A and B are shown apart, each in its own frame.
Chain A
Amino acid sequence: MSGTRTLVSPAALARPRGKAVYWTVFATVVLLFTLAFLFPVYWMVTGATKSPDEVARTPPTLVPENWHLSAYTDAWDLMQLPQHLWNTVVQAAGAWACQLVFCTAAAYALSRLRPVFGKVILGSVLATLMVPAQALVVPKYLTVADLPLIHTSLLNDPLAIWLPAVANAFNLYLLKRFFDRIPRDVLEAAEIDGAGKLRILTSIVLPMSRPVLGVVSIFALVAVWQDFLWPLMVFSDTDKQPISVALVQLSQNIQLTVLIAAMVIASIPMVALFLVFQRHIIAGISAGSTKG
């Protein structure tokens, strides 16, 4: 941003004609972005406050004639949103916690503890990156429905979200790569001081890895909140369904304004998370991409 040279030269931009073109393009892009990305969101938020008659009217009203909040309260009560939101929170939080515990421990072992067959294990983990997750949902479902050896079913249980979330090669590899770059002498010094491996992980490696843990945490939460196909398969019990599945199941026989209100409510947590952490999220996407 420090005035680096881009496609168009600063000299061309400084000329009167260049300035005129620049501001025209700028205004067009602002207008385009507002129309394409903000207007649909505006339409959704205000659509829910219209009366059922008004929302079906042609041509539509740009601003609601009367702002009804009843659709929002109806959605909250009729569609059992508190229950479904809570289910989603439990599923996302558990998946996040399991990933943090098991993925960091495994990544630490692969990075620092030199287990025999470590290379083979890492290779097998990375190989799952080549096997797109969605293509395996059916055999994964059959496994969850009847776990090998112990013959237990995890269907309709949040564990069916939590445990498969750990098998995330991308996050594991991200963590391992980060742990690899921690200077060896820092860890050796702790070892000489008599710290055990667990102690080294929790009080040295993890505090040093805050940036990568932040990225992994956000990915973990967003992934569970946005997922649809897997929870649709796993939770047949309506009371256990997360918000995404419940929305689709209930969308058939509910008033349009109430459904739209429920859609707004379902979006709020992730949009809020994004607005709070936007800098980290945007920086993470931009940085992660160029480094593979």
Chain B
Amino acid sequence: MTKTAERRPVRATAAHPVQAPPPAGVPGRRRLAEQARAYAFLLGGLVCFALFSWYPAIRAVVIAFQKYTPGQTPEWVGTANFTRVLHDPEFGAAWRNTLTFTLLALLIGFAVPFALALVLNELRHARAFFRVVVYLPVMIPPVVSALLWKWFYDPGAGLANEALRALHLPTSNWTNGADTALVSLVLVATWATMGGTVLIYLAALQSIPGELYEAAELDGANLLQRIRHVTVPQTRFVILMLMLLQIIATMQVFTEPFVITGGGPENATVTVLYLIYKYAFLYNDFGGACALSVMLLVLLGLFSAGYLRLTRSGSGEEDA
């Protein structure tokens, strides 16, 4: 922040008095002009937030209690949308799949990147190479990585089964088997998003003071004990924060099931967001879609509130 602005001198004329603090005597017109200017700067942003963020949030709740057809006057239907959605056989499947997906993504998506970051932090060579390579899949458009893995999972000439055959292992049905489809999608999502997590863990690991490890070693702590008693407590805040962020992100999973499995086989990969999409664009049932959205919103809102509380308190909690 020591950089000074390249400040072009603006010619001051006698007609321009010093205007920094508004003179106490003339509050009226001057203050109004100032406020008008402030709101002129705010206007574009405010309109966009109002239209595409605040209004839709309110509208989701309103339409959840309406029978809504575009172009017609909406009709109040009480909780009919909720009961209809709740009795949809896909409802249970969608929630079960979404929660399982989130849990699996959390287990794999935490353990693998954390272990990788731990190892990478010890390596003294080719650091830039590792960081670029691990982040590369994140920059590949999600649609492309989904299509790519759909091809890998192909039961015929797919790379996944070819690799298993080359290792003389039994082949798998991958996304074509009802019991393996969801796990297969978690693998895709983890592969595609892991890079960011690894980089953040790495940054957290690098901020651990070396003296702590030295002290632990003098106390006779072995490698695993040092991880348990130094590394994990020192990075606890980042771990928690990333876990919450990941929960919020994976609860909204859509691209992978839509592109790779289309929700199948036998609804094994239908997710809540996918079901919302189906209600709106296949059944033209916007009321049902909004009822589902509200349920998802409430759950995600709880996690987000947790996340915000953590980040707020986090800055003061560094030595905890």
Contact = CB atoms under 8 A, between A and B. Distances in A.
Nearest to A57: B157
B119 A25 contact: yes
Given A138-B60, A289-B238, A260 B139 contact: no
A121 B122 contact: no
A197 B41 contact: yes
B53 A128 contact: yes
Category for how many chain A residues contact B? 35 or more
Interface string A164-186: 10110100100000000101001
Nearest to A281: B135
A115 B42 contact: yes
A289 B203 contact: yes
A40 B145 CA distance: 9
Contacts of B39: 109, 115
Contact of A270 (B59, B139, B147, B286): B139
Category for how many chain B residues contact A? 35 or more
Interface in B184-213: 191, 196, 199-200, 202-208, 210-211, 213
A215 interface: no
Nearest to A201: B41
Contact of A167 (B9, B53, B144, B280): B53
B134 interface: yes
Contacts of A29: 119-120, 123, 130
Given A141-B280, A143-B52, A186 B7 contact: yes
Contacts of A144: 52
Interface string B1-25: 1011111111111001011100000
Interface string B291-314: 001001100110011001001001
Interface stretch (A30-38, A64-72, A73-81): A30-38
A30 B130 CA distance: 8
Given A109-B41, A128-B53, A208-B3, A267 B144 contact: yes
A98 B276 CA distance: 29
B290 A121 contact: no
A247 B53 CA distance: 28
Contacts of A146: 70-71
Interface string B49-66: 101111111011001000
Interface stretch (B78-86, B100-108, B159-167): B159-167
B38 interface: yes
Which 5 pairs show the lowest CB-CB distances between chains A and B?
A: A5-B210, A106-B45, A102-B44, A286-B203, A113-B38
Given A101-B44, A143-B51, 4 more contacts: A34-B133, A132-B297, A194-B12, A248-B147
Interface of A: 1, 4-9, 22, 25-26, 29-30, 33-34, 36-38, 40-41, 43-44, 47, 55-60, 98, 101-103, 105-110, 113-116, 118, 121, 124-126, 128-132, 134-148, 163-164, 166-167, 169, 172, 181, 183, 186, 188-195, 197, 199, 201, 203-204, 207-208, 222, 225-226, 228-229, 233, 243-245, 247-248, 251, 256, 259-260, 263, 266-267, 270-271, 273-275, 278, 281-282, 285-287, 289-292
15 contacts: A6-B122, A36-B191, A102-B44, A113-B34, A121-B42, A135-B273, A137-B276, A139-B60, A143-B59, A193-B9, A197-B41, A245-B143, A275-B132, A289-B200, A290-B200
